[in-house]
Amino acid sequence: MYMQAEKIREILKTVVDPATGTDIVTAQMVVNIDIQDKLINVTINSKKLEGRLKGELTLACQDKISTLYPDAEVNIHMISQETQQFSVGNGKGSLEDLSKNPLPHVRNFIAVASGKGGVGKSTVAVNLALGLKQMGLKVGILDGDIYGPSIPTMLGLKGRKPQVKKIYGIDKLVPLEAHGIFAMSIGFFIEPEQAVVLRGPKLDGIMQQFVKDVVWPELDFMVIDLPPGTGDVQLSLVQLLPVTGAVIVVTPQDVAVDDAVKAITMLMMPNLSVPILGIVENMSWFTPAELPENKYYIFGQGGGQKLVEMSGSSMLGQVPIIQSIREGSDSGVPAVIDESNPSRPYYIEIASNVNRETNLRNEVLNPTKIVERS
């Protein structure tokens, strides 16, 4: 009987990691597969799973491999090392640090930030996520704006509740899906008129739940809509996830630029070191429907360019004030998915530029480290 390590690896993709909700291969838990005659030894990095869950995971792996090779003797070895070397058969291994990132199956975490509220940050975040999806990428959006969650309304998910799924005896939340992207928001759990009044530790707890207790699928991008300012949620994020880069949203006026500078300064602090992918200047000009060639610079000009020069990043795009943007957001049909919306090309350009800058960042810079909790 000829047994192949790659076939075993494929069958193990049907076994789910209870900590992340994804399969154990994608979650990089399969450390080694060794075959000797009729003996199969599989080493699994069980990380911090409880003893009962380790037992259930062992049985699940044995059952799957036995369906593939019923005459083989299958041994599953559970280890809990923080840094592992992955290898299949005699293939070359590579070091993967699994001690920190709770979502190793998400390739890029993009924070959408602003210093000031009311600049259209959530609208940009939603349309960015949908623009990346339209490029054929797998995308999720995490609503980190705990005090003012807008994502449910903008994605047409108002009133919907996430389902609870048991993963090896642990209750996990299943993100809702809209227009092909996956979403999680505190807005799914509160009434529309309910005020969220929370101090720092509670905010941190919610962010941890949305990262660790949600069954996020494999994603190319997770877009994270941050609240305005430089507070607890921003700090919790960089302590939870290796943020690939940040997109800063600003309007042209000086008061918005001044506050955006503070957000950039925070992200660029040596102990955070979150790369700034670029600037989105929102509400750059107003064009009335009856005069489509006219531009009125209601909030001034040049604010976004100031931030580009200050941060050493690029201009990802400018978006004018167009009534249909507001209408689409309020009705749950964002501009990107409405091909007749005149603002759609602006957001598609932003998504394309974010994808380009992310790929460039990943080529030239080391992965962002998660900030140690003090």
Domain check: are 219 and 359 in the same one? Answer: yes
Q: Domains in the chain: how many in total?
A: 2
Decide which of 97, 130, 145 is a domain's last residue.
97
Residue 145 in domain: yes
Same domain, 136 and 203: yes
**Does 254 share its domain with 325?**
yes
Is the same domain home to 248 and 324? Answer: yes
Q: Residue 372 domain-assigned? A: no
Q: What percent of the chain has pLDDT over 70?
A: 90
What distance in Å separates the CA atoms of residue 358 and residue 363, rounded to the nearest whole number? 9
The mean pLDDT of 43-55, rounded to a whole number, is: 74
Write the pLDDT tens digit of every residue in 59-109: 889 889 999 999 888 888 888 754 343 333 333 333 334 346 788 889 999
β-sheet bridge partners, residue 131 = none
pLDDT in tens, 260-283: 999 999 999 988 899 999 999 999
Residue 232's nearest CA partner among 202, 261, 211, 276 is 202
Banded model confidence at residue 344, pLDDT cuts 50, 70, 90: very high
346 and 216 inside one domain:
yes
User: b vs e for 174-188, b when ≥16 Cβ sit within 10 Å of the residue's Cβ?
Assistant: bbbebbebbbbbbbb
Q: Return the H-helix or E-strand segment holding 362.
A: helix 344-364
Both 50 and 113 in one domain: the answer is no
Pair 177, 304 in one domain: yes
Neighbours of 84 (CB within 10 A): 24
Q: Are residues 157 and 217 in the same domain?
A: yes
Of the listed ranges 127-131, 136-140, 250-254, 368-372, the one predicted with least confidence: 368-372
What CATH number did the domain enclosing 12 receive?
3.30.300.130
Asked if 348 and 259 sit in the same domain, the reply is: yes
Residue 374, domain member (yes or no): no
Domain that holds residue 318: 106-363
Report yes or no on 277 lying in a domain. yes
In this structure, is residue 91 part of a structural domain?
A: yes
Q: Pick from 69, 97, 125: which residue ends a domain?
A: 97
Do 294 and 260 meet the contact criterion of CB atoms below 8 Å apart? no
Q: Look up residue 282 and give its amino acid.
A: N
Note whether residue 368 is domain-resident. Answer: no
CATH code at position 354: 3.40.50.300
Summarize pLDDT for 107-128 with one digit per residue, the tens: 999 999 998 889 999 999 999 9
Q: Which residue among 97, 128, 153 closes a domain?
A: 97
Verify that 291 and 344 share a domain, yes or no. Answer: yes
Ramachandran area for residue 229 (φ above 0: left; ψ -120 to 50: alpha; else beta)? left
Q: Assign 51 a pLDDT band (cuts: 50, 70, 90).
A: low
Is it the case that residue 154 has pLDDT exceeding 70? yes
More confident residue, 119 or 169: 119
Cα separations in angstroms, 364 against 105, 137, 356, 360: 21, 22, 13, 6
Q: Do 78 and 157 fall into the same domain?
A: no
* 120 and 78 within one domain: no
